[in-house]
Amino acid sequence: MKLILTRHGETEENIKKLYQGWLPGTLTKRGKDQAKLLAKRLKDVEIDVIYTSDLKRCLETAKEIAKFHKNAKFVKEKLLREMNHGIYNGVSTKLKYWEELEGGRFDTRAKNAESLRDFWKRIQTFYKKIIKKHINQTVLIMTHGGSTCFVQGMIYSKPIEEAVKIEKLKNTAITEFEIKKDGKYKTLCKNCEKHLNE
């Protein structure tokens, strides 16, 4: 499998440093431009399937890519959503809310939220599904910052404790892998945003 992992364009919430979680998110003008530049970069790459989070910020970014890939299957995937912070969606990221709740960093669950471990298991479910289904295809995954860490964690076979330390992809940056049936992988590029500088 050739796997192209990327993240939505910049949002108003990114600029304000808010937990976006399951909020739709609003692309800034810069974010919309980033999406167009990413699409232009990928226009000549053969893509069999595009998996995108069903949240607006990802959908809008992924649709720019899909304009150049009319034959690619386009799948809206709820499993690819960012972590749900519940009542803390839309709150400043300066507030490390899990420090005030019981359960520790990985198992704390705020009201109407999921824990980091819940989030990890959700991304794991998605990854196991696609790795079996598309092993001989080129797959693009359009998702969120936290989700990019955990998808990479799956590829690197890291436990959650190490996966949370993996660098998030920047807005519309690409990390690309070749993945074999036995799980061995080759990294072709990492957090690359050269399309934004051309």
Q: Is 120 helix (H, G, I), strand (E, B) or coil?
A: helix
What is the rounded distance in angstroms from the CA atom of residue 35 to the CA atom of residue 28? Answer: 11
What is the rounded distance in angstroms from the CA atom of residue 67 to the CA atom of residue 116? Answer: 34
Residue tagged 């839309």 (tokens): 90
| Phi-psi map region of 163: left, alpha, beta (phi>0 left; psi -120 to 50 alpha) | alpha
Q: How far is CA 63 from CA 28, 92, 177, 198, in A?
A: 16, 29, 22, 22
* pLDDT tens digit sequence for 49-90: 999 999 999 999 999 999 999 999 999 999 999 999 999 999
Q: Clarify whether 144 is annotated catalytic.
A: yes
CA 15 to chain centre: 18
Give me the catalytic one of 69, 134, 144, 195.
Answer: 144
| The two structure tokens encoding residue 118 | 């819940």
The DSSP letter of residue 88 is G
Give me the catalytic one of 8, 69, 85, 134.
Answer: 8
The DSSP letter of residue 28 is -
What is the rounded distance in angstroms from the CA atom of residue 36 to the CA atom of residue 61? Answer: 8
* Domains along the sequence of the chain with CATH: 2-10+33-83+115-196 (3.40.50.1240)
* pLDDT tens digit sequence for 137-195: 999 999 999 999 999 999 999 999 999 999 999 999 999 999 999 999 999 999 999 99
